[in-house]
Amino acid sequence: MNPVPESAGPSEAASPATPRRRLLGMLLGSSLAASLASILYPILKFVQPPATGELEVDSVAAAGGDELAPGMSKIFRFGSRPGLLVRLPDGSYRGFNATCTHLNCTVQYRGGEQDIWCACHNGIYDLRGRNVSGPPPRPLEEYDVHERGGEIVVARRQKA
Amino acid sequence: MRKLAARLYDWLDARLDLADLTAPLRHKTVPVHYFSYWYYLGGMTLFLFFVQVVTGILLLLYYRPTANEAFESVQFIMTRVRFGWLIRGLHAWSANLMILCAFAHMFSVLFLRAYRKPRELTWVSGCVLLFLALGFGFSGYLLPWNELAFFATKVGTDIVGQVPAVGHWLMVFLRGGEEVTGATLTRFFGFHVAVLPAITVLFLGIHLALIQRQGISVPPGLEPAMHVLAYLRKHDPAAAEMLIKTAGVQPETREMPFFPNFFLRELMAWYIALGLLGVLAALAPWELGAKADAFAPAPAGIKPEWYFLWMFQTLKLIPGKLGPIDGELAGILAFSAAGVLWVLLPFFDRDKGRAQRLIKGAGIFALAYIVAMTAYGYIAK
């Protein structure tokens, strides 16, 4: 009582080496490849986020003139990245890029040890930003700090 | 290349006994007759569901489900993200076509009586899948957080609130509070991308497993002829020819292997559908509208999505009071009762003419009612 299935057609009869079949196979294959590309291309483009209008910042007011007592520090926004402003015990200011050069953690000032420390992998920089201990491969980028109109302004150093 | 694929297959086959796994696929057949084209609708619905999954995941990369950011993030997708308009357009168009295909699939199953014993559970699981699809449509509609969606959701959840006893609880559950707010958006987002997909996968698995297990239904009118003809073709081809010539039996009553014959045909249909979707997304982009504002009056001519329109229109037509109960409530109860009966339809089908005629009549009535009310909903102001 089983119905007879339709035969699979001529595909089994013709040898794959027949030139006409090879040509058809090539045409079919390239159409498939083109279709696939036209599906994948928009997807690949879609998943890359469009460039957001991120402003390159060259200088920023990091703190008020009397905000930090000597031996204190703060993290401020420098564009979209964190910066570290330190007021040394002698009352002078230092500014750094607060992103650790090892694996992008944010560093902190330690008053007791008089150093800059990254908690993630125990990287230590001195108060000039030089990497002195632990895994950081490069010194922190140091910024210029000026006092202007009652504000502490941090500026990127101009490359000579 | 081919050699490598063959070696990979052999390697896997030696470990997993693939031949055993693919056996059902090789033995599966699809009946061929003059109603065969209706068999493509279920597969087409499945394909559009795949499109929904892929485009939905892509949209998730940029969409933000909060009242403050949802509208802006969709705007961002439409204007800034490369091919964002295409992905969202595909998602919206494919959603609507999927529901259309599901409805068409359901009615074709009904009129070809494919729901009859032993396939009652396939019908029931299919009905559940349709309800889930409607849930996807309803929850997804709110996500862009625009004016139309905001008020449609207000109305839709308010209707749920009318259900006796559990209505208010359900409404608060859906809205995440007494009103439609950002909490509703977060909830609908959760339903849309986590709850409904999980349940859908389960029921889709059941639906497909049942079809795989039971094979594809042949319309009852063709069944005897198919069996006789198939038998004769095997044992006495001359008699088969005689039968076709003299008794007017359709020579088309036979079967084709599911793989690759039917599969490739279905693939072709999918390919055409994908092209159609691309054309629709490019030429008829999905609008975003204005951002939802809870303190703005509802815009004129507000309507739900077309697949809810026939219910919406019916509720509008029912008078405020029907005897002792609210008209609205009466309408909702009637729809609920009709829905339950619809799901249980196969269980009323006896091998007697009367029950069958009744079901066929109900199907024709339902189809005519939905089409007429939808059309009326579009014409009515």
CA B109 to the chain's CA centroid: 13
Q: Residue B114: CB partners within 8 Å, gap ≥ 6?
A: B108, B217, B219
Q: Is A49 part of the contact surface with chain B (CB cutoff 8 Å)?
A: yes
> What pTM did the predictor assign?
0.83
Residues of A in contact with B81 (CB under 8 A): 46, 49-50
Q: How far is CA A156 from each of CA A53, A60, A149, A151, rounded to the nearest angstrom?
A: 20, 9, 19, 16
Residue B253 has pLDDT above 60, yes or no: no
Q: How far is the first Cα of chain B from the last one, in angstroms, to the nearest whole number?
A: 62
Taking only the tens place, the pLDDT of each residue in B35-53 is 778 878 999 999 999 999 9
Cβ atoms within 10 Å, residue B61 = 13
Residues of A in contact with B87 (CB under 8 A): 42, 46
Q: How far is CA B149 from each of CA A80, A100, B290, rounded to the nearest angstrom?
A: 35, 47, 10
Instruction: Give the per-residue pLDDT at A6.
Output: 46
* DSSP classification of residue A1: -
Say yes or no for a CB contact (<8 Å) between B81 and A2: no
Distance from the Cα of A59 to chain B's closest Cα (Å) equals: 29
Say yes or no for a CB contact (<8 Å) between A9 and B261: yes
Say yes or no for a CB contact (<8 Å) between A50 and B80: yes
CA B286 to the chain's CA centroid: 20
Domain parsing of chain B, residue ranges: 39-217+256-379
Give the nearest partner residue to A50 out of B32, B82, B254, using CB atoms.
B82
Residue B132 has pLDDT above 70, yes or no: yes
The CATH-assigned architecture of domain B39-217+256-379 is: Up-down Bundle (1.20)
Instruction: Give the per-residue pLDDT at A30.
Output: 96
Residue A95 · residue A141 · CB < 8 Å? no
Residue B373 · residue B310 · CB < 8 Å? yes
B→A contacts (Cβ < 8 Å), by residue, are 29, 31-32, 58, 61-62, 80-84, 86-87, 226-227, 229-231, 233-234, 254-257, 260-261, 271, 274
Distance from the Cα of B256 to chain A's closest Cα (Å) equals: 5
**ipTM of this complex prediction, to 2 decimal places:** 0.81
CB burial string B93-126: b at 16+ within 10 A, e below? bbbbbbbbbbbbbbbbbbbbbbbbeebbebbbbb
Instruction: Give the per-residue pLDDT at B53.
Output: 97
Measured between alpha carbons, how far is B361 from B358 in angstroms, rounded to an integer? 5
Measured between alpha carbons, how far is B319 from B311 in angstroms, rounded to an integer? 15
Give the mutation candidate from B25, B60, B83, B259 for the A interface (greatest A CB count, under 10 A): B83
Taking only the tens place, the pLDDT of each residue in B9-31 is 999 988 988 888 778 777 788 88
Say yes or no for a CB contact (<8 Å) between B260 and A8: yes
- Pairing mode, if any, of strands A142-148 and A93-97? antiparallel
Measured between alpha carbons, how far is B223 from B209 in angstroms, rounded to an integer? 23
Taking only the tens place, the pLDDT of each residue in A40-93 is 999 999 999 988 766 677 888 888 888 888 989 999 998 888 999 999 998 889
Q: Is A149 part of the contact surface with chain B (CB cutoff 8 Å)?
A: no
Measured between alpha carbons, how far is B72 from B87 in angstroms, rounded to an integer? 16
Cis check for the bond before A19: say yes or no (omega within 30 of 0): no
Query: What kind and span of H or E run contains A26?
Result: helix A19-47
Among B346, B340, B338, B343, residue whose Cα is nearest residue B365:
B338
